[in-house]
Amino acid sequence: MLNHPVTLRAPPLLLVGLLLAAAPALAEKKYGPGVTDTEIKIGQTMPYSGPNSVYGTYGRAQMAFFRMVNERGGINGRKITLLSLDDGYSPPRTVEQVRKLVEQDEVLMIFSSFGTPTNAAILKYLNARKVPHLFVTSGGAELADAKTFPWSMGWRVNYTAEGRVYGKYLLKARPDAKIAALYQHDDVGKDYMRGLREGLGQRAAQMIVAEASYEITDPTVDSQVISLRASGADTFFHFGSGKTTAQAIRKIWDIGWRPLQFVSNPSASAATVMKPAGLEKSVGIVSGAYLKDPTDSHWQNDPGYQEWLAFMKRYYPDGDTEDLYNVYAYGTAATLVQVLKQCGDDLTRENVMRQAENLKNLELPVLLPGIRVNTGPDDHSPLEQMQLQRFDGKQWVLFGEIISP
């Protein structure tokens, strides 16, 4: 007997009915707090007032980016609403504002909130409530601790890793350097100093001849700079805020000291640090980079830079197109958009974290060539590579190879 394939044919109306019945299952939507068919509501805190108000441009640029995304149709038809609240760079106020965002406004996540001490104040709260705490505007090492804080993730190269980059460079370029370091007396400064020592390895105790710290509320750091000069150091590190870095650069020049200076990446803005300090006083300063500096003429015809510049002119015309902070804000917002796209219609907090941990070789228009975003369940450091740059009095000039800490 020959076996013939059997074809089952359902009546047309019955087939249509079966397909319609299956459609809801195929298109099932899963939503967490703050999500509807038309909206994705997220929150953050920024220092729009207080001693670090210059960094408020991060939040303004991110809101502008999401306006652009919304104008273009949003994410899978949903518009992004960013609630950006002022915390004045005060940890107690950060806690208050974040609790409001989570418990009253019911946001899906906390996105890119600014500051190391401010984010440290909300780490345990957000992780206990299993609220995604993504692409934080801080390089605090604990934000990359996926085991202890699985719901938190930084974005930039963390401070400890950046410090290691500088240490490794000095061991090769200036192994006999005498180092003086000025650092902010908080987790930011301490992370940098730990990284610098790790990069210098066994030579750290011999090469670091003097250290001084300051509080973010100190009016000046003049006395610290003067005392560090007395150490006889020929290499100087600034590990702190942009305002204080500018003060230190100016004071070093004014007292006639000419060490090789390094500034941390967050304070390497030509617009908000080098100009206030004095461009002529900033010549020769070294820093690490992973973003395209808008003051670097090398990028003027680069498609990625042109894309960012067009965004700035149309959606954030009041923003400074020479300010690196606005480049950073674009990168973090673009990364979040990629995560939300990957989520599809499963916009639960759990899936947001799964997708944030599943970014593979993501290229962004504002990153230096060769630098990519990569994450994993045990890897909450999206960026881990840097290239050194030197300020020539007008702009930053890249040199050397990309360094992985």
pTM of the model as a whole: 0.82
Query: What is the Cα–Cα distance from 303 to 308, expressed in whole angstroms?
Result: 9
pLDDT surpassing 80 at residue 10: no
Q: Which of 244, 261, 289 is the last residue of a domain?
A: 289
**What is the band of 114 on the pLDDT scale with cuts at 50, 70, 90?**
very high
Q: Which of 259, 289, 319 is the last residue of a domain?
A: 289
- Is residue 139 included in any domain, yes or no? yes
The conformation of residue 152, written as its DSSP 8-state character, comes to B
Q: Are residues 113 and 175 in the same domain?
A: no
Minimal CA–CA distance to 203: which of 167, 161, 165? 167
Looking at the fold, whether 124 and 167 belong to one and the same domain comes out as no
Q: Is residue 396 part of a domain?
A: no
* Element at 197 (helix H, strand E): helix 187-200
User: Quick one: 183 and 146 in the same domain?
Assistant: no
Q: What is the pLDDT of residues 365-399, one digit of tens each?
A: 999 999 999 999 999 999 989 999 999 998 899 99
Average pLDDT on 203-218 reads 95
Same domain? For 168 and 261 the reply is yes
- Please, what is the average pLDDT of the chain? 92
* E strands, 95-163, in order: 110-111, 133-134
146 with 43, same domain: the answer is yes
Integer Cα distance of 68 and 65 in angstroms? 5
Give 339-363 pLDDT, tens digit per residue. 999 999 999 999 999 999 999 999 9
Cβ count near 347 (within 10 Å) = 24
Which of left, alpha, beta for 167 (phi over 0: left; psi -120 to 50: alpha)?
alpha
Same domain, 121 and 167: no
Position 7 pLDDT exceeds 90: no
In this predicted structure, what is the pLDDT of residue 1? Answer: 40
The whole-number pLDDT of residue 260 equals 98
What's the DSSP call for residue 359?
Answer: -
Does residue 224 sit in helix, strand or coil? Answer: helix
Radius of gyration from C-alpha coordinates of the chain: 24
- pLDDT over 90 at 405, yes or no: no
Number of other residues whose CB lies within 10 A of the CB of residue 50 = 16
54 and 142 fall within a common domain: yes
What average pLDDT does range 165-183 have in this prediction? 96
State the Cα–Cα distance between residues 191 and 183, nearest whole angstrom.
10
Query: Do 163 and 151 have their domain in common?
Result: no
14-18, 152-156, 168-172, 295-299: least confidently modelled range: 14-18
- CA 193, CA 286: separation in Å to the nearest integer? 17
Q: Is the predicted pLDDT of residue 108 greater than 60, yes or no? A: yes
Q: How far apart are CA 28 and CA 77, in angstroms?
A: 15
Q: For position 271, what pLDDT does the model report?
A: 82
Q: Is residue 397 part of a domain?
A: no
Closest alpha carbon to 183 in 153, 154, 204, 208: 208
| 401 located within any domain | no
Classify residue 15: in a domain, yes or no: no
Instruction: Check residues 248 and 51 and name the one with the higher pLDDT.
Output: 248
On whether both 246 and 335 belong to a single domain, the answer is no
Residues written for the chain: 405
Shared domain check, 277 and 253? yes
The answer on 377 and 319 residing in a single domain is yes
CA-to-CA distance for 224 and 248, rounded, in angstroms? 9
Check which CATH number belongs to the domain holding 168 and give it. Answer: 3.40.50.2300
User: Which of 289, 323, 352 corresponds to the end of one domain?
Assistant: 289
User: Count of domains in the chain?
Assistant: 2
SS3 366: coil
Q: Write phi, then psi, for 59 (nearest 5 degrees).
A: -65, -40
Strands 396-403 and 386-391: antiparallel
The answer to whether residue 319 is domain-embedded is yes
Asked if the structure places residue 204 within a domain, the reply is yes
Mean pLDDT of 104-124: 96
Hunting for tokens 């190269």 — which residue is that?
A: 157
Round to whole Å and give the CA distance between 313 and 245: 29
What pLDDT score was predicted for residue 152? 98
pLDDT, tens digit (0-9, with 9 covering 90-100), for 11-53:
444 434 444 444 444 458 999 999 999 999 999 999 999 988 9
Q: Are residues 258 and 317 in the same domain?
A: no
Kindly state whether residue 405 falls inside one of the protein's structural domains.
Answer: no
- pLDDT one-digit tens code per residue, 120-143: 999 999 999 999 999 999 988 899
Confidence at 403, pLDDT banded by 50, 70, 90: confident
Q: Are strands 260-263 and 235-239 parallel, antiparallel or unpaired?
A: parallel
* pLDDT (0 to 100) of residue 27: 56
Residue 255 lies in domain? 159-289
